[in-house]
Amino acid sequence: MNILIKNANLVSMDSKREKIEKGIDILIEYDIIKKIGINLEENSEVKTLKENSCLEIIDATNKVVMPGLINTHAHIPMSIFRETVDGYNMQDWLTKKIWPMEDRLTKEDIYNASLLTFIEMIKNGCTTINDMYFMADEIIKAMQKTGVRIQTARALMNMVSEEDGEARFKEILELKNKYKDESKVSFNAGIHGLYTSTESYIKKCVQFAKENNIPVHMHYCENAKEVEDVINSYNQKPIDILVNNFKDVPVILAHAVKMSKEDIERIKNYNISIAHCPISNLKLGCGIANIAEMLENNINVSLGTDGQGSGCNLDMFEVMKFAALLQKGVKEKSDILNSYGVLKMATINGAKALGLQEQIGSLEEGKHADIIIVNMNRVKAIPENDLISQIVYNTNGEDVETTIVDGKILMEDYKLKLDGIQEEKVYEECEKIIKRIS
């Protein structure tokens, strides 16, 4: 498909361009952004495409065109566990409620729950998501049906047995081989956490990531109980395990709530990104990660929702707002974490965390066409005093009008364009799942 987006208010997140450009056209050829400029309809190539009826034109007048948002920490099938946490602390919620229900999930359940998440993503302008779960084959099949972009892996842990831990490596390798030609899927070594693995297994996971040239994705210092459990199991602090074992591999640390200033100083020269999940951390009573300090130390900070069970939903606009406001409140400084910096966390920083910054995260010629169009003509965003601040503070997922991934329109004018998927049927199936396993 060839697409021309006309007359946009462009927020490209390309550091070589102005932060906001008005009256901009974007030409998409198949999956790639071919050209960004003014009045591209006068371009000879565009004229030829129009004459041959090979061009779809989208008028983006008075609308914002920007990169699709990137969610760097989630558990895709946990859509069905939305609002199950009230009244539980994190450990009790997992051990008494979630894990017993997860034991009853079938492959079909995982597929349908993943479809629900991907529909929610598309409707909220999130084009890429970083997953950690199990039955990843079913998750990928649902991704192929909907057309979003994912990074995923079988969660790595040896809590059950050493044999189970070793088998998980094989599962990731089989998935990598099976989907080697699927451009919208990438993989990581998803270590569940230090508290669900032995140190010898952690070393094997890091070595596995190095050998297969993939990043590590791991829950880290999410709450005080986790830190206590790690110290009791390893007789070391989490930061010591991290710096002793993860130096030579790209790492995405989810949460990192219980990191001190000294901890942050110790990792600033490592290839570590933080997947900050403010809403989930608040809801589970974990605390607030010190991302202002991380950013001051030039650590790459991205954003995540966590699974919907604790993160409520996948609205990354909402996550941006919480991320900004929490740091301003905790630090008692209104001038930290400006809006453009927060928007970077949801776009290009997310791409860097996943190792995909050459492909996505900003709108540049030659990059993949992962693009959203946001309708800012809403009462809460008028008048337009500062467009970037309006995006961060006065926009939510429901303002996303069009979602494009890899040059394919997945939603246009608020209507899903997914062949073979009946939205209401997916909702019905997910209602059945939760009633059966509860």
For residue 289, give the CATH number of its domain: 3.20.20.140
Number of structural domains (the chain) is: 2
Q: Please return the burial class of 331, using the count of CB atoms within 10 Å of its CB with bins 0-12, 13-18 and 19+.
A: middle
User: Is residue 262, in this structure, part of any structural domain at all?
Assistant: yes
Residue 342 to residues 14, 72, 83, 97, 213: CA-CA distances in angstroms?
15, 14, 27, 34, 29
Q: What is the pLDDT of residue 50?
A: 79
- Does some domain include residue 178? yes
- 85/189 same-domain check: yes
Question: Comparing C-alpha atoms, which of 33, 349, 356 is closest to residue 186?
Answer: 356
Spatial CB neighbours of 249, under 8 Å, sequence gap ≥ 6: 206, 209, 210, 215, 216, 271
Is 159 inside any structural domain? yes
Q: How much is the pLDDT for 409?
A: 98
In this predicted model, what pLDDT tens digit does every residue of 156-198 receive, in sequence order? 998 777 788 899 999 999 999 999 999 999 999 999 999 999 9
Q: How many CA atoms lie within 13 A of 248 on its CB side?
A: 8
The gap from C-alpha 165 to its chain's centroid, in whole angstroms, comes to 26
Domain-located, residue 113: yes
Q: Which residues of the chain have pLDDT under 50?
A: none
The pTM assigned to this predicted structure is: 0.97
Same domain, 203 and 349: yes
8 A C-beta contact, residue 210 and residue 248: yes
Q: CA 112 to CA 78: how far, in whole Å?
A: 11
- pLDDT on residue 18: 97
| Model pLDDT, residue 52 | 80
Q: Do 174 and 53 have their domain in common?
A: no
In a domain, 93, yes or no: yes
CATH, residue 8: 2.30.40.10
Asked if 405 contacts 428 with a C-beta cutoff of 8 angstroms, the reply is no
Shared domain check, 135 and 58: no
Query: Are 372 and 67 in contact, with CB atoms under 8 Å apart?
Result: yes
Structural contact between residues 27 and 35, judged by C-beta atoms closer than 8 angstroms: yes
Asked if 386 and 245 sit in the same domain, the reply is no
Same domain, 309 and 380: no
**Per-residue pLDDT at 31:** 97
Instruction: Concatenate the DSSP letters of all residues of 398-416 into one string.
Output: GGEEEEEETTEEEEETTEE
- My answer on whether 238 and 249 are in the same domain is yes
Same-domain status, 161 and 271 = yes
Structural domain boundaries, residue 173: 69-353
